[in-house]
A = this chain, B = another copy of it.
Amino acid sequence: MLEKLKIMKPYVTILIFLGLLQLFIIPALSEKKNYDPCCSYPCQHFGICTRIGFSDGYTCDCYRTGYYGDNCEIETWKHWYSEIIRPSPYTVQAILTNGKWFWQIVNNIKVLHSFFMTKILQLKAMSPVWPEAHNTAADYTTFDGYANKTYWALTIPPVPKNCPTPAGVAGPRELPDAETLVKTVFTRTEFKPCPRGTSVIVPFYGQHFTHQGFKSRMPDRSMTWGSHMVDGSHIYGETLEKQHALRTMSGGKMKMQIYNGEEYPPNVKDCPGIYMQYPAFVKEENKFALGHPLYGMLPSLVYYTTLWLREHNRACDIMAELHPDWDDERLFQTTKLIVLGEIMKITIETYVQHVSGMHFQLTYEPHLLHDLPMRWSSSRIHVEFNTLYHWHNLIPDYFLIGDRNYSLPEIYYNMNPLLDHGMNVFTTSLSNQIAGRGAGGRNMPESLHRIAIETVKMNRKVRLQPFNRYRQYFRLPPYKTFEDLTGETKFAKVLSDIYGGDIDAVEFYIGIMVEKRYKSKMWGITLNEAISSYSLRSVFSSTIGSPEYWKESTFGGKVGFDLVKTTNMQNLVCRNIQGCPKIQFQIPEDVNEDKDPGMIYNDCEQLKAETINQKTEL
């Protein structure tokens, strides 16, 4: 017996060892993750991931992803076919930014132009998904989050709570704080001009237009006080009380005041009920009363407001002559509709057109959508839309207005650059000064870092998914290396250090801003793909353009409707600024595409090979 035991000793030892292994070591190896398995985005193709209890299990809801299976990994035939006939973003961009002569012909043949314009809107203005199930109210779908419009929408759900890393499972456990990050990524080493010859009047137009919708609630900006619509609230105020305070309440007109012989928005003292945020140093006479409480911050915001108010009162005169039987209210309401229509038209045909860099001429012709399943009045602003619109790289450090040079900090809450020189000189000055280069990072004036820091903080608070996930959402292949992303090596190394060498950890805002510029555009392809959807949908889904609104009777008859349909940036300026100054969004002599060609890459490997020899200076 003892013998037998002795012989068995080694086996017993092994058994005991295996027992211990089973008891302590194997469980330790296969230990429960203790975090949400959805952190690693196991559901492919943006299926909705839900953790099962406190376990490592999860379910994927693949409904309408075009895929099925436990992880939404098997493609349906229908989706396979639809993807085959749907052109990739690269193809669409390549088609629209090449073949100038072809597009010039298309632009001039109405029926051809309408065909392509409709196609672009079908591709772009009907996405992203609608009505949005995701928003800043919660990580999961709720009814309250949809019903309560103080929440921003989210294009895709946030990173789950309590993941191993801020990006889910990729990248470092901790990222640099927002201040350090912004300083490293955005600090302007030297002013880099926009290679497309974009003038400074462009970012200011964008700022004036977009902030009627981008209205973040303090303190953390994760909610909004806006209506999500192109509603003219930056001109007319967002409440009836404000609107009434800004109106003369007679003949449909808006209040104005004369300054150096020119018409400008009224003073706050003449508009009881208007609350404006002015710092103490602003002189009483320079406190303009505007639709948005912050629009007294920059002379450029007052410039555009002035332009639209002058246009309102001018159009109102035309309406009053045509309709002597109309009262103040009807004149005001109809003129407001005309002005809103003009805003849409100029925004699409001049502003979005310039940003798009296409040879095809975009037009605001909402009737093209009247027989299509357009999602009228459905606009809801997404955090991602707001985030990617932080174009502070475009702002130069100095502004030459007339014969005077103002530094950027000098123009905050300072109306002298506008009032001393007048509307005419202000127009030509901003039209002739080049804006900064947007794409590629490291081109932001230091006084604007504050806003970038707040953006990073807000994005982190709402836990936006990382940049590469959004690439996939917009049907773009995720980047594999930091060199892929930036199109060079030096800055790529800086970014790689920040994100622990893991490209999948790059934050949305950072990725969008540092991505290499796409040929003939101001930005990289990801920003272009995203913004074209968000912006075309925002403008084209407006109630104004819907079948019930977009007709003569809405705009006070044929005269008013024609006024909307024939307005452009230049004739708007000429109608309302003495001397008809030339306004230009692009300075032809400053276009520098040859020296700064931008890049098109479908293939990450191809890029990798090329970037080795490339030394883009930063």
**Chain A contact residues, CB within 8 Å of chain B:** 48, 50-51, 53-54, 59, 61, 63-64, 129-133, 138, 140-144, 146-148, 227, 229, 231-232, 240, 243, 322-325, 329-330, 333-334, 336-337, 340, 370, 372-373, 375-378, 543-544, 546-549, 551-554, 557
> B50 contacts A130, CB within 8 Å?
no
Give Cα A146 to B379, complex, Å. Answer: 14
> B143 contacts A546, CB within 8 Å?
no
Assuming the contacts A63-B552, A557-B59, asked whether A142 and B54 have C-beta atoms less than 8 A apart, the reply is no
> B130 contacts A548, CB within 8 Å?
yes
Question: Which residue of chain B is the closest to A322 with respect to CB atoms?
Answer: B53
> B143 contacts A340, CB within 8 Å?
yes
> B377 contacts A142, CB within 8 Å?
no
Assuming the contacts A143-B336, A377-B378, asked whether A131 and B546 have C-beta atoms less than 8 A apart, the reply is yes
Task: Give the residue of B132, B142, B333 whose beta carbon is less than 8 angstroms from that of A144.
Answer: B333
Give Cα A322 to B143, complex, Å. Answer: 21
> A376 contacts B229, CB within 8 Å?
no
A132: chain B residues within 8 A (beta carbon):
548
Give Cα A232 to B146, complex, Å. Answer: 13
A330: chain B residues within 8 A (beta carbon):
138, 140
Question: Which residue of chain B is the closest to A373 with respect to CB atoms?
Answer: B373
Question: Which residue of chain B is the closest to A561 with respect to CB atoms?
Answer: B61
> B50 contacts A557, CB within 8 Å?
yes
Question: Which residue of chain B is the closest to A230 with respect to CB atoms?
Answer: B143
Question: Which residue of chain B is the closest to A64 with respect to CB atoms?
Answer: B547
Task: Give the residue of B140, B376, B551, B554 whose beta carbon is less than 8 angstroms from that of A131.
Answer: B376
> A325 contacts B53, CB within 8 Å?
yes
> A232 contacts B143, CB within 8 Å?
yes
Give Cα A157 to B229, complex, Å. Answer: 24
Give chain B nearest CB distance to A58 CB in angstroms.
11
> A544 contacts B333, CB within 8 Å?
no
Task: Give the residue of B51, B133, B323, B549 whose beta carbon is less than 8 angstroms from that of A325.
Answer: B51
> A130 contacts B376, CB within 8 Å?
yes
A375: chain B residues within 8 A (beta carbon):
376
> B551 contacts A61, CB within 8 Å?
yes
Starting from the known contacts A61-B552, A148-B240, 12 additional A-B residue pairs (CB-CB under 8 Å) come to A48-B553, A54-B325, A63-B547, A63-B551, A63-B552, A64-B370, A129-B548, A130-B376, A131-B546, A140-B330, A141-B548, A144-B333
> A143 contacts B231, CB within 8 Å?
yes
Assuming the contacts A548-B132, A557-B59, asked whether A333 and B64 have C-beta atoms less than 8 A apart, the reply is no
A240: chain B residues within 8 A (beta carbon):
144, 148
Give chain B nearest CB distance to A545 CB in angstroms.
10
Between A and B, 28 residue pairs with Cβ closer than 8 Å are A48-B551, A50-B553, A53-B323, A53-B325, A54-B324, A130-B376, A130-B548, A131-B376, A131-B549, A133-B549, A138-B329, A138-B333, A140-B333, A140-B553, A141-B553, A143-B231, A143-B333, A143-B336, A143-B544, A144-B240, A144-B243, A146-B543, A147-B227, A147-B229, A372-B373, A375-B376, A377-B378, A378-B378
Query: How many identical chains are in the complex?
Result: 2
A552: chain B residues within 8 A (beta carbon):
59, 61, 63
Give chain B nearest CB distance to A264 CB in angstroms.
25
Question: Which residue of chain B is the closest to A59 with respect to CB atoms?
Answer: B557
Give chain B nearest CB distance to A244 CB in angstroms.
11
> A141 contacts B337, CB within 8 Å?
yes
Q: Which 6 A-B pairs have the closest CB atoms?
A: A373-B373, A61-B553, A63-B551, A133-B548, A48-B553, A142-B333
Give chain B nearest CB distance to A160 CB in angstroms.
11
Give Cα A544 to B131, complex, Å. Answer: 10
A227: chain B residues within 8 A (beta carbon):
147
A557: chain B residues within 8 A (beta carbon):
50, 59
Give Cα A378 to B375, complex, Å. Answer: 9
Give Cα A143 to B334, complex, Å. Answer: 9
Give Cα A47 to B544, complex, Å. Answer: 18
Most buried by B among A143, A147, A370, A543: A143
Question: Which residue of chain B is the closest to A239 with respect to CB atoms?
Answer: B148
Give chain B nearest CB distance to A586 CB in angstroms.
32
> B543 contacts A131, CB within 8 Å?
yes
> A144 contacts B51, CB within 8 Å?
no
A59: chain B residues within 8 A (beta carbon):
552-553, 557
Assuming the contacts A229-B147, A547-B64, asked whether A324 and B53 have C-beta atoms less than 8 A apart, the reply is yes
Give Cα A336 to B148, complex, Å. Answer: 15
Give chain B nearest CB distance to A212 CB in angstroms.
12
A142: chain B residues within 8 A (beta carbon):
333-334, 336-337
Give Cα A64 to B370, complex, Å. Answer: 9
Give Cα A142 to B332, complex, Å. Answer: 10
Task: Give the residue of B144, B376, B378 whose beta carbon is less than 8 angstroms from that of A336.
Answer: B144
Question: Which residue of chain B is the closest to A61 with respect to CB atoms?
Answer: B553
> A549 contacts B141, CB within 8 Å?
yes
Most buried by B among A51, A240, A325: A325
Give Cα A372 to B337, complex, Å. Answer: 31
A243: chain B residues within 8 A (beta carbon):
144
Question: Which residue of chain B is the closest to A229 with respect to CB atoms?
Answer: B147
Give chain B nearest CB distance to A430 CB in angstroms.
29
Give chain B nearest CB distance to A382 CB in angstroms.
13
Most buried by B among A51, A54, A551: A551
A143: chain B residues within 8 A (beta carbon):
231-232, 333, 336-337, 340, 543-544
Give chain B nearest CB distance to A552 CB in angstroms.
5
A50: chain B residues within 8 A (beta carbon):
553, 557
> B146 contacts A377, CB within 8 Å?
yes
